[in-house]
Amino acid sequence: MSPSLPNVTSKIWPGTGPDDAYLGLVSQGPGRKVATTLGLPAPVELRRHDPARPTVSGPVVVLSPTSGARGPGETAATEADDLATHLLGRGLEVHRHGDDLRKVGAVVLCLTEVRTPSDLTAPALELGSVLRKLAPGGRVITVSRPATGVALGSAANLPASGDSQDYTAVSRNAARQGVVGFLRSAAQEMRGGATANGIVVADGVSVSAPSVAGSLDFLLSGRSAFVDGQFLVVGTDQGPADLAQVPQGEAPLSGRVVVVTGAARGIGEEIARLLHTQGAHVVPVDVPAAGQPLSTLANELETASLSLDVTAEDAGQRILEHCRSRYGRLDGIVHNAGITRDKMLANMDQAKFASVLAVNTEAPLRITEQLLADPMADGLRVVGLASTSGVAGNRGQTNYAASKAGVVGMVAGLAPILAARGGTANAVAPGFIETEMTAKIPLARRQVARRLNSLQQGGLPLDVAEAIAFLLSDSAAGISGQTLRVCGQNLVGA
């Protein structure tokens, strides 16, 4: 942990978060009662990370198809026990059923050994009974195995070779994919700022793998406040051999050198600030025109900024030179720099379409290629900024959606290349995030956009930054090629 970290606070944009007038009106008291009576959205302020508060607001219940009993589901029960052991090691109060509890802070449902769709019935109903006791801001997390041949995150798992008449495997595949639909629907039923997310553990990877532990920690905590209805796919056992070595505390990125492009304002600024508070040496990068805010940020973070147009042919080489001369290492890069040039396709011109692709997709591709040509990039963690527009499309954003879908494809393609170097590549896809840009949207449209997700409110730049910090950490060493949506389960796309 860094010996001392300046008190660099997060920026809350005017009209966001607690200043969302509607959120403030209906989050409690008479306003909430009126909203409920009229069937209007009734969001509540989300439980975000606070080092002075417990990770969860009550006991954690770990369920499995056998609820701890032995028999046909013996393996599932054992894996549920392993998950419970990890949570106990984190100092949490853990139970294997919730019958005698009045309040529950979180539920972890181990479904790694479901074999038929009917195996989902009993644990689902048991979860339903416990949900009545779930505290505000509670968490539900499923732990399951992947269905083969079905896309989850960014790419499909390749079908396993074998007997085409093996209907046992077909049934198991149906059950495993059933977990996805179950979890995403359950997420839409959460109340009081609670969320439901899943961890998918690749076949052959233990539920005791470091990144399963790290994913549990992240999803249980307030750091995942705006992540809902999503899955983290743990593909390898990569990471610290001892679970106790998975970083905890407030500085899990201590000593790391991380470059953040587009850092002078908005989400990029928040990313830089949070990574700094978590112990990283941050290299903020932005265009020369943003020199003043970039310098101000660099001074606050006590670091040296780099004024750079990411579309420059030598951008990656300049980043390498900067990091080598000041730190002698480079551990991660966040490709946050991006632009929009929105137009209906019928009115789109070549300059608007090409410029968005150049900044949002081609620059990260070129920069990463140049970084990987240098041995200093061994072990590099890459995080790209995608968007829900790149997942589901958005009217008037054909160029932007193409560029952000390109980022999803980029990290999926980079994953095996970086794996050979001990690194990872992932993306974060924000939904409606409260920034200076979204604050300029007309009031009525802004209010509608805020409510179109399961949490019925806009996210904060901090929520995006928290997800990125997790993906840069050792806790996510076994996660690569994935795109994590930070959108409150925006009701578009998968």
- What whole-number distance in Å separates Cα of residue 270 and Cα of residue 469? 11
Residue 450, classified by CB atoms within 10 Å of its CB into exposed (0-12), middle (13-18) or buried (19+), is buried
Contact 368, 414 (CB under 8 A): yes
Q: Which of 22, 167, 327, 400 is catalytic?
A: 400
Beta-bridge partners for 63: 109
Alpha helix positions (H), 145-229: 167-188, 210-220
Tokens of 249: 């505390």
| Catalytic residue flag (residue 400) | yes
- What whole-number distance in Å separates Cα of residue 244 and Cα of residue 112? 23
Residue with tokens 């840009």: 437
Phi, psi of 140 (to 5 degrees): -120, 130
Contact 146, 202 (CB under 8 A): yes
**Residue 459 DSSP class:** B
- What whole-number distance in Å separates Cα of residue 484 and Cα of residue 474? 17
Alpha helix positions (H), 228-285: 266-277
Q: How far is CA 149 from CA 166, 180, 207, 391, 480, in A?
A: 15, 14, 22, 19, 18
Residues shown for the chain: 494
Which candidate, 444, 348, 439, places its Cα nearest to that of 397? 348
Residue with tokens 């730049």: 461
Return the exposure string of 109-139: e unless at least 16 CB atoms fall within 10 Å of the residue's CB, then b: bbbbbbbeeebbeebbebbeebbebbbbbbb
Return the exposure string of 357-382: e unless at least 16 CB atoms fall within 10 Å of the residue's CB, then b: eebbbbbbbbbbebbbebebbeebbb
Beta strands at 104-110 and 483-486: parallel, antiparallel or unpaired: unpaired
Give the three-state DSSP class for 85: helix
Half-sphere exposure of 290 (CA within 13 A, CB side): 23
H or E, element range at 419: helix 398-419
Active site residues: 400
